[in-house]
Chain A
Amino acid sequence: MEEIGEFIIEYAGRMGAEYAEARVQADLREAIIFKNGILEAYTFEEVKGIGIRVLVDGSLGFASTNKLRKDEVKRVLNRAFKMAKASSKLIKHKISMGRGDLGSDKVIIKPRISFTSIDPEARISLLKEADEEIINSASALNVKVPARIMEMNTWVTEKLIKTSDGANIYSVTPRVALFALITLFHPQRGSIQRYINLGECGGWETAERWNISRIFSEETSALSRVLMEATKPPAGEMDVVLGPELVGISCHESCGHPSEADRILGREAAQAGETYLKPNSIGLKIGSKHVNIVDDPTVRGSFGFYLYDDEGVKARRRVLVKEGVINEFLHNRETASVFNVESNGSSRAVAYNREPIIRMANTFFLPGNYSKEELFEDIREGIYIKSFMEWNIDDRRFNQRYVGLEAYRIENGEIKEPIKSPVLEITTIGLWSAVDAAAKDLEFQAAYCGKGDPMQGIPVWTGGPHIRLRRVRIGGGGIES
């Protein structure tokens, strides 16, 4: 890796690049797809190649290849230079790389149990047991499970980043992820579906610690109860307690994405869209004083973990919203230059053949001072939404909808019967302004965040504590028929 990385920087410099960045990346991955109790596929692969960025006359060029040879590097660099030069006539504002705390370091996360020491049978048996738990837990409540699909991925990302201005970062990061979609069915009550996403940075010990069978059993029992017992939710204005899963996705969608500086500048306008925030929105009040939202790549073991970003800039916690006020945007070196600030290390690429762009890492609502019980205590009538299935937000990140999956009615401070598909359809300011309390707990949820063209689904955590919303409107009944 070192030799080819050096060659790229040296050759790009000889060609006259104002800036050059070489990323040599190998993702060694194993995956199992398990459907309805049967192994559908066992896959393994090594995705290895080079991603290069160069600045030529203020025009940015990216090139990738999976042939790690010097003649190939020359070939793709020559093309990238030609493309960047041809495009420079369509550039009025020259791109430059701004300030950043560039590192020279090695970050090697050593798994306690290496993936290579785990044979296919051990991986498969973990999912087989979980699958049996789903069936058993559902049948205890007279519910059928006509379909379930699970995919478990383990992979190690080995990466070398070198830049012409001195960054030099070598990292090795193992990750484990489990995705599942479960369908529960009852002939008279219809069906209900649930996504389960688990993901962390770590070795096989992570998968063992999760206790997947227990998670699936608990989820299936709770959802079977929702399927069999849920009633129509109350409608109208009411107090609502959101669980960490809802809080996490809301932070990600209506706070994290809008704070991406490239989006603020319009770079994603034709794909993932723009944002309600403007370059001068620092200091804008979007919520109550109880709202504190951060994005932090440095959380050990997190799915979005890194200590240096893909431009070699040292990572740190970013306080996006402080006491309800927009505090900081997510920057890479390009946007740092435009905003005349220092990059806060938000540049990420999902594979060698993807351009590094501004991404979230682990976005979460900071815990408050209340116990979880206290949030419920003074609610006379309201609802508690613990998990969700359907969600979306408009491309300015202001109009969002979350449809509850596991949800309950609250009466006089107590959690009562399950309710079916309560709809929280709300503006970003409406949502965050309604927060009057946050609990002390903190939970995270794994996700793949989509952005970029070509698309890059990148590992993140979303999370937070339980929070309470006062007087928000619940649509009621999910889809109207």
Chain B
Amino acid sequence: MRVEEIPTYIVNLGRKYSATDVAAKLVESQRVMIRFSNNEVTVSKVFRETTIDVFIMVEKHRAVTTISTLSIKDIEKNVKNLVKTAKMTPPADVYAPLPRGPFTYNPELLRAPEVPLDPEILSSYVEGAISAALESGAKRAAGTLNAFKSKIILATSGDVHASQESAGLELSIRAFVSDVATGHFISIACRPEDFNPEEAGRVAGEIAKAADNPMPGKPGKYMTLLGPMIFADFINQVGVLSSAFLVDAGQSFLVDKIGEEIASRKLTLLDDPTLVGSIGSRAFDDEGVPARRKAIIENGILKTYLHNSMTAKKFGVETTGNAGIIVPTPWNLIVEPGNKSFEDLLSQIDDGIYVTNNWYLRYQNYRTGDFSTLPRDGMFKVKRGEIVSSIGELRISDNMLRILQNIIDLGRSRTWVRWWEVELPSLVPHALISEINFTKPLI
């Protein structure tokens, strides 16, 4: 049997064993990763994998498995076992049949551009990024290059038979002028012509150089300019926690907030998988529903949670095309730009802080949004609209909803962000926040 035929075969098999609904998603992927530190490659990695996620419902009874072998015998055994297991589980509170196709998909979203997996080309990207960081004044650089190609083949009992390719290039680089003077930047792209590892290296090096000789920061509340990397992390929090599954689990500060003005009117946040040529583009979700553009927040108002057909039924709404078979997920988070340049934004700060990046964000309470996180890689004191010094040692200790409400302005240019700390591709500008609370240890 050809690989392309396996998902449909599984659907038919599941139906034969009396499942009411079946979805089978086969993913073939290959990835190359080069990691580097101290200007040297530390390891190069090659990954090849084919897996099949199978979801089965026998009305309200459901079960899920991942099959990692393509042997027909193993597949048959697993599907039979899955139906048997589903029947043994107690019924869920709702039954939502898998959405009924056939659907029409945008053909441009089904194909991916060619990305190079050639070792010489990939190592030259790394070399270029390191050289650019060093030329900008860094003494050393560390990071990761990722090149990947994958193909999803989906079949469901709702008459869905579809396949989609995706591909991308990602470089994340952190430049060091000293142990405590660092800068971090990224380049992510679907098309090689949009990929600019040298620019990422240059920006990381420049931030690191500007961050040299940091002074201890003073705790307090400051007007704060967030660079795209930290703002992307905050936007990821909103995007991920807008999943109806997490809202239902209490793991979100968006519980009971639909229709409310939860953010500044300046903020419009979209989930847009329909952007052709973007890393998170998708033609269809894991139930086969055509993926579509939607506003999560529009002019500050929370418009929708993200749904699959199951959570949609539970919440009494329509699916938003964001299945995740169990947990709905965003695909591409897009913040609508403002109209200010970086300099315009900076000029609005009389006495404040510019933060370029962060890590380790943890909540005291998801439901209220109380959290803290550590700025890293270039944090600067701003006086009368100008960066006056590099500072360190501070922590952002605040509330996510308050920060969203305190957005004063957004930049007009935007950056695609995804890296180790930011899981979902996000297109974001700089964001000016009227007040953020900073704390620090005193001993």
Name A residues whose Cβ lies closer than 8 Å to a Cβ of B. 33, 35-36, 38-49, 59-67, 72, 75-76, 79-80, 82-93, 95, 119-121, 124, 146-149, 181, 183, 185, 190-193, 265-274, 353, 355, 389-396, 399-401, 403, 421, 423, 425-427, 430, 434, 453-455, 472-473, 475, 478-481
Select which of A72, A192, A269, A355 is within 8 A of B365 by beta carbon.
A192
Other A-B pairs, 5, CB within 8 Å; known A395-B360, A478-B370: A80-B46, A124-B89, A274-B179, A392-B374, A394-B360
Given known A-B contacts A80-B44, A455-B420, A401 and B85 have beta carbons under 8 A apart:
no
In the complex, chain A residues whose CB is within 8 Å of the CB of B439: 401, 423, 425, 475
B365 touches A394 (CB 8 A): no
Bound CA span A453–B172, Å? 11
Bound CA span A42–B92, Å? 11
Chain B CB within 10 A, most for which of A80, A146, A395, A426: A395
Bound CA span A454–B420, Å? 8
**Cβ-closest chain A residue relative to B53:** A45
| Residue B339 at the chain A interface, CB threshold 8 Å | no
**Cβ-closest chain B residue relative to A357:** B43
Q: 17 A–B contact pairs at CB < 8 A?
A: A38-B93, A44-B81, A46-B68, A60-B44, A72-B48, A83-B45, A87-B44, A119-B88, A124-B89, A147-B251, A185-B367, A193-B367, A270-B172, A272-B420, A389-B365, A390-B364, A434-B443
Mask: chain B, 30-50; 1 = CB below 8 Å from A; 0 = not? 001111111111111111111
**Chain A nearest CB, measured from B239 CB (Å):** 18
| Residue B120 at the chain A interface, CB threshold 8 Å | yes
Given known A-B contacts A392-B372, A399-B374, A453-B144, A191 and B420 have beta carbons under 8 A apart:
no
Bound CA span A390–B373, Å? 10
**Chain A nearest CB, measured from B24 CB (Å):** 14
A399 touches B393 (CB 8 A): yes
B44 touches A49 (CB 8 A): no
Bound CA span A92–B40, Å? 7
Bound CA span A44–B140, Å? 45
In the complex, chain A residues whose CB is within 8 Å of the CB of B293: none
A44 touches B393 (CB 8 A): no
B32 touches A39 (CB 8 A): no
Stretch binding the partner chain, chosen from B100-108, B188-196, B229-237, B394-402: B394-402
Bound CA span A396–B122, Å? 30
In the complex, chain B residues whose CB is within 8 Å of the CB of A430: 441, 443
* 6 cross-chain pairs, A with B, having the tightest CB-CB distances, nearest first: A147-B250, A86-B119, A183-B250, A269-B142, A430-B443, A390-B364
Within 8 A of A (CB), among B386-443: 393, 395, 397-399, 420, 437, 439-443
| Residue B326 at the chain A interface, CB threshold 8 Å | yes
| Residue B180 at the chain A interface, CB threshold 8 Å | yes
Select which of A48, A59, A87, A90 is within 8 A of B69 by beta carbon.
A48
**Chain A nearest CB, measured from B148 CB (Å):** 11
Bound CA span A84–B140, Å? 21
Bound CA span A103–B82, Å? 39
In the complex, chain A residues whose CB is within 8 Å of the CB of B305: none
In the complex, chain B residues whose CB is within 8 Å of the CB of A403: 364, 372
**Cβ-closest chain B residue relative to A88:** B41
In the complex, chain A residues whose CB is within 8 Å of the CB of B63: 41-44
Select which of A47, A353, A479 is within 8 A of B364 by beta carbon.
A479
In the complex, chain A residues whose CB is within 8 Å of the CB of B35: 267, 453
Given known A-B contacts A49-B49, A355-B43, A394 and B65 have beta carbons under 8 A apart:
no
B122 touches A86 (CB 8 A): yes
In the complex, chain A residues whose CB is within 8 Å of the CB of B32: 79, 83
| Residue B284 at the chain A interface, CB threshold 8 Å | no
A269 touches B46 (CB 8 A): no
Number of A-B contacts (CB under 8 A): 280
A85 touches B119 (CB 8 A): yes
**Chain A nearest CB, measured from B35 CB (Å):** 6
A389 touches B363 (CB 8 A): yes
B123 touches A401 (CB 8 A): no
Bound CA span A430–B442, Å? 9
**Chain B nearest CB, measured from A378 CB (Å):** 21
In the complex, chain B residues whose CB is within 8 Å of the CB of A92: 39-40
**Chain A nearest CB, measured from B164 CB (Å):** 21
**Cβ-closest chain B residue relative to A84:** B44
In the complex, chain A residues whose CB is within 8 Å of the CB of B365: 191-193, 389
A399 touches B441 (CB 8 A): yes
**Cβ-closest chain A residue relative to B175:** A270
Chain B CB within 10 A, most for which of A47, A64, A425: A425
Given known A-B contacts A38-B93, A399-B440, A181 and B250 have beta carbons under 8 A apart:
yes
In the complex, chain A residues whose CB is within 8 Å of the CB of B397: 401, 423, 479-480
Bound CA span A455–B419, Å? 11
In the complex, chain B residues whose CB is within 8 Å of the CB of A79: 32, 46, 119
**Chain A nearest CB, measured from B402 CB (Å):** 8
**Chain B nearest CB, measured from A355 CB (Å):** 6
| Residue B366 at the chain A interface, CB threshold 8 Å | yes
In the complex, chain B residues whose CB is within 8 Å of the CB of A148: 249-250
A45 touches B68 (CB 8 A): yes
In the complex, chain A residues whose CB is within 8 Å of the CB of B67: 45-46
| Residue B143 at the chain A interface, CB threshold 8 Å | yes
A181 touches B40 (CB 8 A): no
A35 touches B249 (CB 8 A): yes
Bound CA span A272–B41, Å? 17
| Residue B361 at the chain A interface, CB threshold 8 Å | yes
B123 touches A392 (CB 8 A): no
Chain A CB within 10 A, most for which of B46, B47, B140, B420: B46
B143 touches A49 (CB 8 A): no
**Chain B nearest CB, measured from A412 CB (Å):** 25
Chain A CB within 10 A, most for which of B34, B361, B420, B440: B420
**Chain A nearest CB, measured from B329 CB (Å):** 15
Bound CA span A39–B64, Å? 12
**Chain B nearest CB, measured from A228 CB (Å):** 16
B326 touches A399 (CB 8 A): no
Given known A-B contacts A86-B122, A391-B362, A40 and B441 have beta carbons under 8 A apart:
no
Select which of A35, A62, A265, A272 is within 8 A of B45 by beta carbon.
A62
A266 touches B437 (CB 8 A): no
| Residue B86 at the chain A interface, CB threshold 8 Å | yes
In the complex, chain B residues whose CB is within 8 Å of the CB of A72: 48
| Residue B155 at the chain A interface, CB threshold 8 Å | no
Bound CA span A266–B92, Å? 49
Bound CA span A423–B395, Å? 13
B173 touches A270 (CB 8 A): yes
Bound CA span A49–B70, Å? 13
**Chain A nearest CB, measured from B363 CB (Å):** 6
Select which of A47, A67, A423 is within 8 A of B66 by beta carbon.
A47
| Residue B359 at the chain A interface, CB threshold 8 Å | yes
Within 8 A of A (CB), among B228-255: 245, 248-251, 255
In the complex, chain B residues whose CB is within 8 Å of the CB of A423: 397, 439
B368 touches A83 (CB 8 A): no
B140 touches A266 (CB 8 A): yes
Select which of A45, A46, A394, A480 is within 8 A of B376 by beta carbon.
A394
Bound CA span A147–B420, Å? 30
**Cβ-closest chain B residue relative to A53:** B43
| Residue B184 at the chain A interface, CB threshold 8 Å | yes
Bound CA span A274–B184, Å? 14
